[in-house]
Amino acid sequence: MKSSFKVFVASSFAIGLIASSLWLVNNSNASAPDVQEAKKSVQNYFAAIEKKDVNEITEWVKDTRFDSVAEQKYEYNQMLTTAPFEKHKIANIEKIDDKTFAVTIQMSRKKDGIITTQVLPVVKDEKGQWKLLVTGKEIRVDK
């Protein structure tokens, strides 16, 4: 029961955060180069996944679920082996502020083909490179 409540609270918070972020979006201020660079970083992330190049994947993502890059690479290798993506599509990208975009991604895994939609931030890191930001816990479930 406590686990279900935690999932409900976390889901409700995430939905509220996404809705609030999208409400604040102002597309007229988004410069074309920033939009294109942010989108390209997400495309590069998926291209690296298609090549199964874990080192390159980690270059295009900031993933806070892991304590170290070694752990991140290990988990990515596991994902590529047990539950790889089959298809992906960038459905939308919108400016949140000068250092953040919200990208809507539709994707499916080869294992089940179920299409899921996620809205994730793309952030500019301290070096000025756009990266997909993944936070929270791994949601993949092996069957």
Q: By C-alpha distance, which of 92, 91, 79, 8 is closest to 48?
A: 79
Distances (CA, A) of 56 to 7, 45, 52, 113, 114: 32, 8, 9, 25, 26
Rg of the chain, C-alpha, whole Å: 16
Is the Cβ–Cβ distance between 65 and 136 less than 8 Å?
Answer: yes
Residue 85: the pLDDT is 78
Distances (CA, A) of 32 to 29, 46, 87, 91: 9, 21, 26, 17
Which tens digit of pLDDT belongs to each residue from 78-132? 988 887 778 889 999 999 999 999 999 998 878 788 888 889 999 999 999 999 9
For the chain, what is the mean pLDDT?
78
Residue 110: the pLDDT is 80
Domains and CATH numbers, the chain: 2-134 (3.10.450.50)
Whole-number percent of the chain with pLDDT over 70? 73
Which tens digit of pLDDT belongs to each residue from 62-80? 999 999 999 999 999 998 8
